[in-house]
Amino acid sequence: MEGSSGWSFVLLATVVALAVVGGVMLVRMMPRRGEVSREERSDLASAPMPALQKRAMWGLLVTVSTLAIITVILSRYGAAEYWDNDSLRLTVMAIFIGGLFAYVLILLIAVTKGKADGSLDERDRLILSQAATAQTVLILFTLVAWIIYLTEKFHDAGAVPVVYLYLIFGSVVIVNIIGQAVGILLGYWRLARYGEG
């Protein structure tokens, strides 16, 4: 078991590196019209931030914070303590549900405001529809990382404890939201850099 922890780190680092390379390749492979002129870039920079982009930034902040807090707690106490200690499990669940509630609240405010002032246009709808690509990629890499980690950690035992099923589910839910926010922000970045193409 001790010898496999070094391999686990190498494998997880490889997955993270592949995720970064895959993300860069994904952005580079997307069709684009070419760099926008300085005037167009200046106009885009001086335009007010769209509501969808604001929601994505706030959503990313909330969900990454939620994931970071839960990761720190679980790293400190471990999965076994999380499973056996009811107060710790309820604390982690409260943080998880609180993060999801905050995200839903941000979403509701943005949707209500968007419907009221009609600020969601075709460009925003296109960016929103393309955000699913980032969600899919991040979820797949999260599942790959979990599989590699759990396989290495419990190879000798031959079975994975049930607690990890809960942790996988929670991480996939949070990563799904992070993926949507990242996809939206990448869409606006592409728009500012390459124009409407």
Q: Name which residue leads in pLDDT, 53 or 32.
A: 53
Q: What is the mean pLDDT of residues 59-82?
A: 90
How high does pLDDT run on average in the chain? 79
| Nearest-angstrom CA–CA distance, 196 and 173 | 31
Please tell me whether residue 94 adopts helix, strand or coil conformation.
Answer: helix
* Domain contains 90: yes
Residue 113: HSE in the Cβ half-sphere, 13 Å Cα cutoff: 11
* Domain contains 16: yes
Residue 30, pLDDT score: 58
| Nearest-angstrom CA–CA distance, 82 and 67 | 15
User: Is the Cβ–Cβ distance between 148 and 15 less than 8 Å?
Assistant: yes
Is the pTM value of this prediction over 0.75?
Answer: no
* Domain contains 144: yes
Residue 24, pLDDT score: 65
* Domain contains 43: no
* Domain contains 70: yes
Displacement of CA 30 from its chain's centroid (Å): 20
Q: What is the mean pLDDT of residues 10-28?
A: 65
* DSSP assignment of 125-183: HHHHHHHHHHHHHHHHHHHHHHHHHHHHHTTTTSS--THHHHHHHHHHHHHHHHHHHHH
Q: At 188, list the tokens.
A: 């606006």
| Nearest-angstrom CA–CA distance, 60 and 184 | 10
* Domain contains 88: yes
Residue 197, pLDDT score: 42
Q: Name which residue leads in pLDDT, 42 or 72.
A: 72
Over 60: is that where the pLDDT of 164 sits? Answer: yes
Please tell me whether residue 162 adopts helix, strand or coil conformation.
Answer: coil
Per-residue pLDDT of 77-124, as tens digits, reads: 988 898 899 999 999 999 999 999 998 888 788 777 766 666 667 777
Owning domain of residue 102: 2-33+51-194
Per mean pLDDT, which range of 28-32, 38-42, 121-125, 141-145 is the poorest?
28-32
Residue 91, pLDDT score: 94
Which residue's entry shows tokens 């124009």? Answer: 195
Residue type present at position 140: L
Q: What is the mean pLDDT of residues 22-30?
A: 62
* Domain contains 46: no
The number of folded domains in the chain is 1
* Domain contains 133: yes
